[in-house]
Structure 1
Amino acid sequence: MHFWHLNVISESLVNRFSIVIPAFNVENSIQRAFNSVIRQDYLDFELIVVNDGSTDGTHAILSELEKANSFILINQQNQGVSAARNSGATQAKSDWLIFLDSDDELIPSALAQFNKAIESDSKRDFWQAGIRRISGQNLQELIPIQDEYHSKIPGTFCISKGLFEQVGGYDEQMKFSENTELFHRVGLKGVIGGVISEITLIYYDSSTGGSKNLQNMIDSLLIILDKHETTLSDHVKYLYHQIIGVNYMRFRNYSLARKHLLKAISYKPLKAKTLIRLFISMVPPLAKKLYPQEVKL
């Protein structure tokens, strides 16, 4: 049985794209993300917004938008970003899914670019595109490399609903690196996507990485390491254990930091940077100075 071409167009699929926006306490950015969708040049889409138990003004803003715009609003108890995306995908009636974070925005030609790519090669079941990354006053444009299975660039892909369902959607345990884990499973199916060498998304860097975000990063990387132990490359295992080790230093948990840095060293014994970090973990005053608890993500 072949798995690499799973999208099936039927009469019940009304639109080309379903755009899913998960929203949790994003009253300051949801309007911008919403506007970027309704102002698309290509109009064959449905918009699904999942209010994931927001406790700020997000629900009120969405309710107001609902009065003047046609879109699907799902209100649910807080379950996390991965569950919110899955809820939206379950309701989607289109043959292609796009997941847009509530603090990012699509450029006006984004859907037209994705549609052009889909029509150019019907054998591809996912497409990646570039982003314009904004961090304070800094701007960077990033384009993915052809045939990379998983993107480190958030929110820059469309995926056929058939493939998304085939791999089981998002792992709802994941609160960080959800796309990386999803596309690892896509890669295990032997699916190779296409690349659009154009910018389709404006991605805004988070201002800080507080303790909750750092813990989510640790937890999610540990899930990936455990879940995909037999299929991850030694290089990826090395990277993940090193990231976990550094984050534990930020939490001042030096014993766990050393445990994971030693694990990283077991995969790449000659990496000087990791050896230096292991030394730093043994000198807490130095670690506190070099690894603050608030970082940019």
Structure 2
Amino acid sequence: MKVTVVIPTHNRSALVVKNVSSLCNQSYSSADFEVIVVADGCMDDTVDALRKLSTPFSLTVVEQPWGGPAVARNRGAALAKGDLLIFLDDDIEPTQTLVEAHVRAHRLKPGHVVIGYCPPVFRGKKGFFSICMLVSWENTFSAMHRIGYRYTYRDLLSGNFSIESALFSRIGGFDPAFWCQEDGELGLRLIKSGIPFFFASDAVGYHHETSDLNRSLKRKYEEGRADVLMGYRHPDVISVLPLCRLRLWLLGYIAYVLVFRWPKTGKVVSFLLKHMLYFMEKLGLRYRWQRILGFLNTYWYWCGVAEELGTEQALEGFLKSGLSKTGSGSEVEIDLVEGLDVVGEKLDMVRPEAVSIYYRGRFVGRIPHEPGAERLGSIHLRSVLAGELAWPFLRAIMVDGVLGGLGYGGKKPFE
């Protein structure tokens, strides 16, 4: 299989050179893959440094005016010759088997989008912020590693994923209007098109985390802006965007009020709290530190939302437009007395968005419709029955057994 690795970069010469240099040691044949680096508005020595590299594979360096990561990735994909596209961020250091692992996953799961594993790496001593980031990333990947995990659009992480070139072209690539969350928007279109995701834990690329508090807060601001655009593009997912639920949390509501009603006060509060984090860490007050950081993240997210919508009235109108577009999704009812294999086959054929589960007519539970999540199949049913619905399922079987013994039933489970 011919492969093209696409790497967008913006003024991070040292990181992207390390990335490309690591690709020189791949276990996959260098004759079967190429690397395209898109220098997106780079003003440093990125281009010169890359062109000085001697690589066993074909390396193409493309310069373009700064257009954002979505534009850069699309440009690289347009120039690709490979049947498979692997997208890597410039701060990802691929392991020797990364390309081979992506190819193997696509041979095992043709037609899937493959998400690689990016364990974070921090320079210097770990503080509260880096520990927080580490836990967040590991929680994300450990969830995807579970059998029966239900993927959502948020799981498509552009730092390390692969997709067939023909599929990427057919789906329309990244939306260039997004400067943040462009991977999630692409993920949403893929899920709506019924394209399954697969997590390849052996496709490892170490994420050299360069984010700090200021960059993290700026990212939250951009996420707020991007979520508004996401809602305009896809009104059916507004109900699962953070802006739809953050006001239900006390500190989230306070942050909302500061942004929309008392913006000057909000700026002062934000400034003071950001500087308080330093003292909280020095004193070892981790819980309070996390609470303050959570508030600041929410505040800057609301700032991004306000930048796009302007007023509370506009926000309310935006939310109402989403509620009018959110349906209950296609739902089926199954009775487990037919047997797991039988009902599983039915689910795999229908692929509903929600399932009501019964055992001999007795309600066991429900897998609800979740906007932006993949449709349900047998693997999701088995996971739920082994987890949160294990006791309700067992209780239904026991009740049926008791009633059967009293003459109200009589059939054995799954008979």
Fold shared, TM-score > 0.5 on shorter chain = yes
In structure 1, the residue matched to 2:50 is 62
In structure 2, the residue matched to 1:38 is 24
Q: Alpha-carbon deviations, 1:82-121, whole Å to 9, x = none?
A: 1111011001111111111112221111112112212223
Q: 1:162 to 1:288 in 2, by over 3 A?
A: same
Of the three residues 233, 240, 251, the one matched with 1:227 is 233
Task: State the distance in 2 between where 1:31 and 1:132 align.
Answer: 19
Q: Is the 8 A contact 2:9 2:40 kept in 1?
A: yes
Query: Partner letter of residue 164 of structure 2?
Result: S
The alignment covers a number of residue pairs equal to: 253
Deviation at 1:29, TM superposition (A): 1.2
Of the three residues 255, 268, 283, the one matched with 1:277 is 255
RMSD: 3.0
TM-score relative to the length of structure 2: 0.54
In structure 2, the residue matched to 1:200 is 204
Query: Partner letter of residue 255 of structure 2?
Result: R
Of the three residues 95, 112, 130, the one matched with 1:125 is 112
In structure 1, the residue matched to 2:95 is 107
In structure 1, the residue matched to 2:272 is 289
Q: Which structure 2 residue ranges, 5 or more long, are not aligned?
A: 278-292, 298-415
In structure 2, the residue matched to 1:148 is 151
Of the three residues 67, 86, 89, the one matched with 2:77 is 89
Matches within 5 A, 1:65-80: 65=53, 70-80=58-68
Q: Which structure 1 residue ranges, 5 or more long, are not aligned?
A: 1-14, 242-263
In structure 2, the residue matched to 1:185 is 189
In structure 1, the residue matched to 2:15 is 29
Question: 3-state SS of the aligned residue for 2:7?
Answer: strand
TM-score relative to the length of structure 1: 0.74
Task: State the distance in 2 between where 1:274 and 1:213 align.
Answer: 17
Query: Partner letter of residue 52 of structure 2?
Result: E
Query: Partner letter of residue 86 of structure 2?
Result: I
Task: State the distance in 1 between where 2:219 and 2:251 align.
Answer: 24
Q: Is the 8 A contact 1:144 1:195 kept in 2?
A: no
Deviation at 1:179, TM superposition (A): 0.8
Task: State the distance in 2 between where 1:113 and 1:176 align.
Answer: 27
Q: Alpha-carbon deviations, 1:144-189, whole Å to 9, x = none?
A: 5244143164413111112211221011121111111110111111
Query: Partner letter of residue 113 of structure 1?
Result: A
Q: Is the 8 A contact 2:119 2:206 kept in 1?
A: yes
Q: Alpha-carbon deviations, 1:205-242, whole Å to 9, x = none?
A: 2333448655543332221121111x215122xx1x2x
Q: What percent of counterpart residues are identical?
A: 24
Q: Alpha-carbon deviations, 1:28-72, whole Å to 9, x = none?
A: 212111112222111231111112231111111122126886312
Structure number with higher helix proportion:
2
The structure that has the greater radius of gyration is 2
Q: 1:46 to 1:153 in 2, by over 3 A?
A: same
Q: Which structure has the higher relative contact order (CA within 8 Å, separation 6+)? A: 1
